[in-house]
Structure 1
Amino acid sequence: MELKDRLKLARKNASLTQAELAQRVGIKQASISEIERGLTRSSGYLIKIAQVCGVDPIWLSEGAGSIDSSTTSLKTMPSDIESNAELLGDLVTWETEDPLDDDDCEVPYYAEVEFAGGNGMTEVIEVASRKLRFSNSTLKAAGVECQNAACARIKGKSMERLILDGAAIGFDRACTSIIDGEIYAFNQDGMLRVKYLYRLPGGLIRIRSENFEEYPDEMISLDQYHQDVRMLGRVFWWSTVRRAPRR
């Protein structure tokens, strides 16, 4: 199934006309029409289109996985500390030589990869060959410069109620100082994590999940934080798709 077919399916499942979808996304109807006719193989608005249609942006953009993001499969890590972010995958639907639109910004992915040998040890790296396109207007609204933005994906249920399993996240690599109660992406001992962070009296750092009933708070010393944690940035955006309620 090509992008044009996935877009038609997503739009019809959402009971939207081309004009209605274009209006909600903030683009011209002709842009939707060109994609659905196969005249355009890329768009800087695929994430927004997926949100409006209520489908998984990964499925819409490249056809991987399910139309419903909540069915995304997980990779379990052998660790006492859960890691709740992973690489989205190759989310580009345009060719690498395709020029950026005036409002497009290429954003890198961060991945959690296993060391050679399969010993269970992991490392967080930027995968230079994998990019996602945001619109500069979206980043500007979030107060983020294009060169400072990056992406990953949530896995697991520790941030649920707010950010669901399988949601894409964007984080600002220029914002690395802890502001109490903000959500951050960080590398902790080679694991990519997304959590609330708080500074506490006595030189302690609280690591909190949204779903704190099932995932209790963790406390680490400031020394441990500086030794074990490499801050990636404050989370400024996430894409969450909920299943339609059963009737």
Structure 2
Amino acid sequence: MLTGQELGAAIESARLKKGITKKKLADDFDVKPPSVQGWTSHGRIGKDKLMALIDYFSDVVGPEHWGLSRKPKGNAQIIGPISAWDDSTPLDDDEVEIPLLKDVRVSGGPGVVAEDLDSGRCVRMGKSSLRERGVQFSNAICVTVSGNSMEPALPDGSTVGVNMHITTIKDGKVYVIKHDGELRVKQVYRLPGGGIRLRSFNRAEHADEDYTPTEMAEKDISILGKVFWSSAFWD
């Protein structure tokens, strides 16, 4: 924090940037003009008045102007410890088990449902969290992402939650697609004439794939559901 004449010079500089007279400054702080002269010449000002002055000039100068470091703005919040559990741990009242499909090849026929694809493994999720996102428990599955096409957002080995109730395409959203009997995770865009574009996050190594309605039928391409959640371990 600046003091003495350096503080006075900072006050005077802020006053000029704000474009106000010393009389205006005195009136706004309910002091006499000689007091303001003492502020700007020698930095003689009480702590309470100084804090109010810093706030007063915050529209034209930042904390650094007064010799203060800018406090970082937090972007994370501690929500609690991690509770260990295994497959034998009973579910809490607010939990539900979502089927996890790992290394699964999907049959080519229509009408595939979660039971057809169940690998016997599950991911536990909070019922309230699913409700907040409009996901019916019976319509939710989880799948594992393989390869680097969706990096960096979805690294190899990531798990994503899929809402199979939502198959209508909203451009740029991420979906799980059935493609020639395999599951794929991609951004999807609609194309004129009813076709679709599949896009990877890692576009440097994976080019866009465009398919006409005819090609979609030939390659058995359809939307299994929209991704609503993801989880990954980081190296």
Same topology, TM > 0.5: yes
State the Cα distance separating 1:100 from its structure 2 match. 2.6
Name the counterpart of 1:234: 226
Greater relative contact order structure (CA < 8 Å, 6+ sep):
1
State the partner residue of 1:54: none
Shift in alpha-carbon separation, 1:204–1:198, aligned structure 2, 3 A = same
The structure having more radius of gyration, on CA atoms, is 2
Of 144, 155, 176, which residue of structure 1 is paired with 2:167? 176
**1: distance between equivalents of 2:94 and 2:194?**
43
Find the counterpart in structure 2 of residue 94 from structure 1.
87
Give the conservation status (yes or no) of the 8 Å contact 1:204–1:222.
Answer: yes
Is residue 78 of structure 2 the alignment partner of residue 24 of structure 1?
yes
Equivalent-residue separation in structure 2 for 1:237 and 1:231 (angstroms): 17
Contact (CA 8 Å) 1:112, 1:123: kept in 2 or not?
no
Q: Which residue does the alignment assign to 1:215? A: 206
Q: Secondary structure at the match of 1:131?
A: strand
Larger fraction in strand: 1
SS of corresponding position for 2:118: strand
- Structure-1 residue corresponding to 2:188: 197
Quick one: structure 1 residues 178 and 218, their matched pair in 2 at CA, closer, same or farther if it must change by over 3 Å?
same
CA deviation string 1:116-143 (max 9, x = no partner):
xxxxxx7485125222211112212322
1:101-120 paired onto structure 2 within 5 Å: 101-113=92-104
The 3-state SS of whatever aligns with 2:98 is strand
Q: Report the count of equivalent residues.
A: 151
Contact 1:206 1:219 in 2 (8 A): yes
Q: Runs in 1 of length 4+ with deviation above 6 angstroms?
A: none
Residues 105-124 of structure 1: per-residue CA shift (max 9 Å, x gap):
1111234446xxxxxxx748
Aligned pair partner of 1:156 in 121, 127, 147: 147
In structure 2, runs of 5+ residues without a counterpart are: 1-76, 109-115
8 Å Cα contact 1:112/1:191 also seen in 2: no
TM-score, normalised via structure 2 length: 0.57
| Structure 1 equivalent of residue 61 of structure 2 | none
Identical-residue share of aligned pairs (%): 38
Q: 2:128 maps to what in 1?
A: 137
Inter-partner Cα distance in structure 2 for 1:224 and 1:176: 19
Matches of 2:221 and 2:90 in 1, distance apart? 37
Range with greater deviation from structure 2 (185-194 or 125-134) = 125-134
Q: Residue 149 of structure 1: CA displacement? A: 1.0
TM-score, normalising length: structure 1: 0.55
